[in-house]
Each structure stands twice: as structure tokens, then as C-alpha cells.
Amino acid sequence: MEDTEVIKARLALNMIRTKKNEDDLEDCEPVSPVGRIFLKPLLNCYVICLFGCKEEINVQMLKKNVENSPLFKHKRFSSLVKEDSKGKLRWVPTKANIDDHIIIPEIDPTINKSLDFCDEYAAKLATAPPLDPSKPLWQLHVLNIKSAEAAATMILRAHHCLGDGMSLISLCFACAHKANDPKSLPTIPRPARRPTKHISLVSFMFLSFCRFILMMFYTFVDLLRLVATILNILKDSNTPIKGSTGVGYMPKRLAHVNFGLEDVKTIKNAVNGTVNDVFLGTLAAGLVRYLDRIYVSGGQTMPSNLLVRLLTPVNIRPTPGLQALKDMENEKGQCRWGNDLGLFIVSVPMDKYEDPLDYARAATAICNKKKSSLEMYICNLIKLLPGQIGEYVSSNLTGNTTLTFSNTVAPEEEVDFFGQRLTYIAPTTVGLPHSLAVYFMSYMGNVTLMVTAAKEVMPDPKQLCLDCLEALGYMKQAAIATSKRLTC
């Protein structure tokens, strides 16, 4: 691994200081506060997303489709990050060359191309040299190599300063259409609203008052924990999956597995929770299995009081519709764009439960408290902190927690993306000082679990995927058994 100071110096060179025409930069859009944080040496983050394709990719056709897409015409994807005379970073429009962004890697034909080759290639991109700052900060890599789920794979590598993960993925869907209807944009499912009960005014006011008291209480508790974490008072347990200083620059391993969304819904209904609650419960059960195996192999018993917390990013602003994103290429488009993120710090339930459903129940209870807290809005204020202070706070939040967790929803129907029908979508984020990132993406009735891990900390992230898959199976069996008992 490179020396930390060398890495910092190399990353610092990413920003080009303009010595001429500085006055022209004053009219350019400034980089958002969160975008500036993502450009800091300690938090130089990239979004990496794998798109599995049904058929081999025609590269020339792909280039043509990308050139005519909202993504290529998007202001952020056709701009450079430059520093003006006052030291402020701005988006400076430029003319993008499609050949600079569609990457066809030269792959040795004699090497063994395993079914996990695309994951291995993406892992190399995770710690590859920073993108050339003299060009817009994104690439689309094309691998015409068969994997377990696809005939070919496209891998998007985009700097996180271009936008938050949800915005970037949504922009990709704005470049797609329904496979069976080329004129229609994909449909992004929205969470169903629970039916409201008609109650009296007195009852409504009483319930509202109780919710307000709970919100203030949970917010106060979360604020205390947040401050303790920033000041290095509260730290996660030093488990085998907890990274050390510099873990963001360590070589990575990627792995993913797929499972049915219906299994998740079966568990969700059994615990009266949400899909996200089930994902968190599945991760918790998988981590318990994974860590227990490590402790037992070392002749120890897994401690019962482990503190393992995750950071989960939340969009503060509503995600724009796909049509609005598609219209952003036009001057009339009024869609807001950028990084406008809040954070939840969530404790993972690490107990050994006899009933598998207790993991989902515990996750539901935790998430319900978080929904009643203003923590994500408080964390969003970090972007207002000046340079080094903001970097220090962000670094401590990630350094004193264990992993990153996210759940993204994709279209329910099959989509055509740049002329390619997709079989799966697997996003992740790299560059944060976390040893582990876990992402769930639902698409076309299936869920892809993507695990990104520092190689030195978790040499085989596929094992964690399998542990989560096994835990999900036990939870489904318990949910079915519970349902049968209730109907008898």
C-alpha cells in the first residue's frame, strides 16, 4: 500500500488551479458543500455500479447510444472541477469526448476468466488511480465476458462529487426504457402508504403531541451519540471486520448474490415491518454468523456486547422523477441536482437470537426509532462546516463506525439501458474509511446483495453474502411457520 502522505499529495493534484480566465469561472456553478467533502483526500469517493447484460455488447452502438443520452448531455457529466481565484471549486463546462469515457480494457486471453471475473475487475477499479481531472469524472467500462448472471457487463465508475448515489442511479434509469416499450421510461416502485384511520380531533392532537415528545427524545439521544462519536468518545468494538486507519485505500474485494424479493416480502409481512427492515435484519444475522465463525476458529466465544454500527445515507430532498432527470439536458429543466445527503447511524443487532425473525423484529424497532428522529437533518449540517473541520468530523464519523449500508429500488420490469437489456444491477461506494460496504438493490422481482470489503480485513466477502443468504432462508421458514400458526 502506498504511503499515506504520497496518496494525499497525489489526490490533491486532482483539482486544477486555473491561472488564466479566472474571471470566467465566477459564472460557473460552484461545487456543493457535500461534493467538496467527497473531493477531500481522506474522503475521495467513487460510485461503482455493475450492470449485467443479457447479450454481448456492441461497442460502437453503445457509444452512439451514450452520446445521445441524458447522461452524456448532463452538465455534471460534461464539466471539469476547477478552482477559481478565491479557492472555490466550480463546475466548468467542457466538450466531452465519448472515447475518453467508454473504456474497453485489454484483457489477457490466456488468463482464467472465472464467473467472478467482473467482480474482480470492479474491485481493481475501487482502488485504481484517480480519474484524469482534465476530463469529466466518469467512465463506463465494457466487459464482453460471461458471468454467472450475464453475457456481458458494463461498470460505471463515477466520482461521488457528481451527485449522490440515488441521483446517479436514477439518472441511469432516465437513460433507459421499458424493454417491451421503447417509448416509456421505467417505472420506479414507490413504497405503499399505510391506510390512515379516521380519529377524532382530540385523539389526533394527543397522538401528535406524543409523537413530538418521542421525536425530541430520540433526537436528543441520537445527538448525544453523534457528538460522542465525533469526539472519539464512542467507538465501535474492535471486531475482525473493523477497519484501521487508511482502510479506504486498501485493495478491495467485491462479491454479490441474488435472491427473490418475494422472500423479503414474506418476512416483512410476518414482522409488520418494511423491506429495508428485513434487509437490515438479514445483514445483522449474516454478520453474527460470519463473526461467530471467526471467533470459534480462534478458540474464543463471540462477545455478547459488541457495538457494530453502520452509516446509511438518506436523501434530504425528494428524488426527482425520471422524466425530470431526462429533461435536465434541456435548458428548461428545473430539476435540482447534487449531493444533499443526511446520515443515520444505526446499531446493528448483534445478539444470537433463537428465533430467526427476531433479527428482523429488532431491525424494525431500531428503524422505527430512527424515523422519529431528526438525526439525518443534523448530520446534513456537517456540509456547512468549514474545510478541515468538516473533513475531520466526516472522517471521525466513518472511522468510529464499522460499515456503510444502503438500499436502492430499481424498476420492477426489465429495462433496456443504452441498448442493453439488464439482468441485474449492483451498486457500491468506495473510498470511505470503512472496511465494509453493503448495498441491496431490488430489480425485476430480484434483490442483488453487493458486499465490498477491504481485502486485508475480509479476504472472502462472498462468505458474508452466503451467510446473509442462509440467514434469509431461515427467516423465511420462520415467517411461513408463523403465518401457518396464525391461520390455524
Q: Are 170 and 319 in contact (CB under 8 A)?
A: yes
Strand order in the sheet with 89-93: 16-17, 79-83, 89-93, 29-30
Residue 246 has which C-alpha cell? 487508511
CA torsion 424-310-452-115 (nearest 10°) is -40
| Chain centroid, CA 151 distance in Å | 25
What the block records as the C-alpha cell of 37 is 467533502
Among residues 74, 141, 160, 434, which one is catalytic?
A: 160
Q: Which of these, 357, 238, 352, lies nearest to 293 by C-alpha position?
A: 352
Residue at grid coordinates 457528481: 162
DSSP label of 327 = G
74 in catalytic set: no
Cα–Cα distance, 79 to 90 (Å, whole number): 9
Gap between the Cα atoms of 259 and 472, Å rounded: 9
Rounded to whole angstroms, how far apart are CA atoms 130 and 214?
45
Helices (H), 354-418: 357-371, 375-380, 387-399
Judge whether 42 and 393 are in contact, CB under 8 Å. no
Residue 114 has, within 13 A of its CA and on its CB side, a CA count of 6
Please identify every residue annotated as catalytic: 160
